[in-house]
Amino acid sequence: MRHFHRLTLCASQVVAAALVSSTLAATDTSSANYVMPGCRDFISSNSLTPAYPFVQGFCAGVIQGLIYDSHDICLPSGVEKGQAVRIVVQYIDSQPARLHENFNALALEALRKAWPCQR
Protein backbone atom coordinates (compact mmCIF):
# COMPACT_ATOMS: atom_id res chain seq x y z
CA MET A 1 0.00 0.00 0.00
CA ARG A 2 2.86 2.39 0.82
CA HIS A 3 4.38 1.75 -2.57
CA PHE A 4 1.06 2.66 -4.21
CA HIS A 5 0.91 6.00 -2.33
CA ARG A 6 4.47 6.86 -3.33
CA LEU A 7 3.72 5.98 -6.93
CA THR A 8 0.54 8.08 -6.88
CA LEU A 9 2.37 11.01 -5.27
CA CYS A 10 5.20 10.78 -7.79
CA ALA A 11 2.78 10.64 -10.71
CA SER A 12 0.84 13.66 -9.45
CA GLN A 13 4.10 15.63 -9.05
CA VAL A 14 5.08 14.80 -12.60
CA VAL A 15 1.69 15.96 -13.89
CA ALA A 16 1.87 19.17 -11.83
CA ALA A 17 5.39 19.92 -13.09
CA ALA A 18 4.28 19.37 -16.67
CA LEU A 19 1.34 21.75 -16.23
CA VAL A 20 3.51 24.46 -14.69
CA SER A 21 6.21 24.17 -17.34
CA SER A 22 3.68 24.28 -20.18
CA THR A 23 2.10 27.40 -18.67
CA LEU A 24 5.48 29.08 -18.35
CA ALA A 25 6.48 28.07 -21.85
CA ALA A 26 3.26 29.56 -23.20
CA THR A 27 4.08 32.97 -21.68
CA ASP A 28 6.20 34.95 -24.11
CA THR A 29 7.84 37.50 -21.83
CA SER A 30 9.16 39.46 -24.82
CA SER A 31 5.70 40.01 -26.32
CA ALA A 32 3.76 43.25 -26.10
CA ASN A 33 0.96 41.22 -24.56
CA TYR A 34 3.19 40.51 -21.55
CA VAL A 35 4.79 43.97 -21.21
CA MET A 36 1.82 46.28 -21.84
CA PRO A 37 0.18 45.88 -18.38
CA GLY A 38 3.40 47.18 -16.85
CA CYS A 39 3.50 50.09 -19.30
CA ARG A 40 -0.08 50.99 -18.44
CA ASP A 41 0.82 50.77 -14.75
CA PHE A 42 3.72 53.14 -15.34
CA ILE A 43 1.50 55.88 -16.77
CA SER A 44 -1.52 55.34 -14.54
CA SER A 45 -2.29 57.55 -11.62
CA ASN A 46 -2.34 54.45 -9.40
CA SER A 47 1.33 53.68 -9.94
CA LEU A 48 2.05 54.09 -6.21
CA THR A 49 0.87 50.51 -5.79
CA PRO A 50 1.60 48.94 -9.16
CA ALA A 51 0.05 45.62 -10.03
CA TYR A 52 3.03 44.72 -12.22
CA PRO A 53 6.09 46.37 -10.60
CA PHE A 54 8.74 44.28 -12.37
CA VAL A 55 7.11 44.62 -15.77
CA GLN A 56 6.52 48.32 -15.12
CA GLY A 57 10.24 48.86 -14.64
CA PHE A 58 11.04 46.62 -17.59
CA CYS A 59 8.74 48.67 -19.86
CA ALA A 60 10.23 52.00 -18.81
CA GLY A 61 13.77 50.66 -19.05
CA VAL A 62 13.30 49.26 -22.54
CA ILE A 63 11.80 52.50 -23.80
CA GLN A 64 14.54 54.60 -22.23
CA GLY A 65 17.18 52.31 -23.72
CA LEU A 66 15.60 52.52 -27.17
CA ILE A 67 15.54 56.32 -27.00
CA TYR A 68 19.19 56.62 -26.06
CA ASP A 69 20.55 53.84 -28.27
CA SER A 70 18.67 54.55 -31.49
CA HIS A 71 20.13 57.00 -33.97
CA ASP A 72 16.85 57.48 -35.82
CA ILE A 73 14.73 58.71 -32.89
CA CYS A 74 15.06 62.44 -32.25
CA LEU A 75 13.23 63.55 -29.13
CA PRO A 76 12.25 67.18 -28.86
CA SER A 77 13.89 68.86 -25.89
CA GLY A 78 12.02 68.51 -22.64
CA VAL A 79 10.36 65.17 -23.43
CA GLU A 80 10.07 63.08 -20.29
CA LYS A 81 10.07 59.30 -19.93
CA GLY A 82 6.33 59.29 -19.14
CA GLN A 83 5.56 60.92 -22.49
CA ALA A 84 7.58 58.30 -24.34
CA VAL A 85 5.79 55.49 -22.51
CA ARG A 86 2.41 57.07 -23.37
CA ILE A 87 3.41 57.25 -27.05
CA VAL A 88 4.31 53.55 -27.03
CA VAL A 89 1.12 52.54 -25.18
CA GLN A 90 -1.10 54.53 -27.57
CA TYR A 91 0.64 53.07 -30.60
CA ILE A 92 0.47 49.46 -29.46
CA ASP A 93 -3.08 49.80 -28.11
CA SER A 94 -4.18 51.08 -31.53
CA GLN A 95 -3.04 47.77 -33.04
CA PRO A 96 -4.40 44.99 -30.80
CA ALA A 97 -3.82 42.34 -33.47
CA ARG A 98 -0.06 42.85 -33.01
CA LEU A 99 0.09 42.25 -29.24
CA HIS A 100 1.75 38.88 -29.83
CA GLU A 101 4.72 40.62 -31.49
CA ASN A 102 7.99 41.56 -29.80
CA PHE A 103 7.50 44.55 -27.47
CA ASN A 104 10.91 46.07 -28.21
CA ALA A 105 10.28 46.10 -31.96
CA LEU A 106 6.83 47.65 -31.57
CA ALA A 107 8.10 50.26 -29.10
CA LEU A 108 10.94 51.21 -31.46
CA GLU A 109 8.43 51.50 -34.31
CA ALA A 110 6.22 53.77 -32.18
CA LEU A 111 9.08 56.03 -31.12
CA ARG A 112 10.45 56.34 -34.66
CA LYS A 113 7.01 57.27 -35.94
CA ALA A 114 6.44 59.85 -33.18
CA TRP A 115 9.88 61.46 -33.28
CA PRO A 116 11.67 60.78 -36.57
CA CYS A 117 14.96 62.51 -37.22
CA GLN A 118 15.02 65.07 -40.02
CA ARG A 119 17.57 64.11 -42.66
**pLDDT tens, position by position, 27-51:** 899 999 999 999 998 998 655 677 7
DSSP codes of every residue in 54-117: HHHHHHHHHHHHHHHH-TTB-PPTT--HHHHHHHHHHHHHT-GGGTTSBHHHHHHHHHHHHSBP
Return the C-alpha torsion angle 24, 25, 26, 31, nearest 10: 90
Short-list 32, 119, 118, 43, CA closest to 75: 118
Amino acid 10 reads: C
Q: How confident is the model over 35-93, as pLDDT tens digits?
A: 999 999 899 865 567 777 889 999 999 999 999 888 889 999 999 889 999 999 999 99
Residue with more model confidence, 7 or 109: 109
What is the mean pLDDT of the segment spanning 12-19?
Answer: 41
Determine the Cα–Cα distance for residues 90 and 36; give it in Å rounded to an integer: 10
In contact, 36 and 91? CB cutoff 8 Å: no
Q: How confident is the model over 99-117, as pLDDT tens digits?
A: 999 999 999 999 999 999 8
